[in-house]
Amino acid sequence: MRRNILRAFATTFAVLLASILGISAASAGSEKNALAAVRQATVQYHNVDAAIAAGYQAVGECVPGMGYHYVKFSQFGLMDPMVPDALTYAANSAGQLRLVAAEWFKVDADQNLGTDSDRPSMFGKAFDGPMPGHAPGMPIHYDLHAYLWQGNPDGVLATYNPKVRCL
């Protein structure tokens, strides 16, 4: 009798575990598909002139681990996965810019670094933040990077990419 109870428990546990892992695998698959769609939607911006023509503007200096940011201010906070708020580029040895990542940005509703009840998520990952602005006048915000065009040992959705350097 005890052996039958243990078998039933083991079988139930195995089915439950397989179900959980199946859900996780399905979720990871849909996130991977969504990132592939963003990669396809941003392929046109390999040429920085195309990004500029689409409304992206260069802002600031190169940020080590991220690159040069080109921001589409009209897009800020719209949270459209297919239209990133910013694109980041890295310069090659000849000084030519190459696309490395897409980025999304959301202003923190209460402008309080101590709260995060409005933290957004995309592609199954919570945005980084809240964090202070990176330039004068920039509000407290959340952001998310996707290194779609430059391999990242820390993961596609990591904040920084050690392979992205400033020259």
Residue 167's pLDDT band (boundaries 50, 70, 90)? Answer: confident
- b/e for 25-58, b at 16 or more Cβ within 10 A? eeeeeebeebbeebeebbeebeebeebeeeebee
Q: Which pLDDT score is estimated for 133? A: 84
Q: Which pLDDT score is estimated for 18? A: 32
| Rounded mean pLDDT, 101-124 | 96
Residue 131's pLDDT band (boundaries 50, 70, 90)? Answer: very high
Percent of the chain with pLDDT over 90: 73
The pTM for the full model equals 0.79
One DSSP character per residue, 5-20 reads HHHHHHHHHHHHHHHH
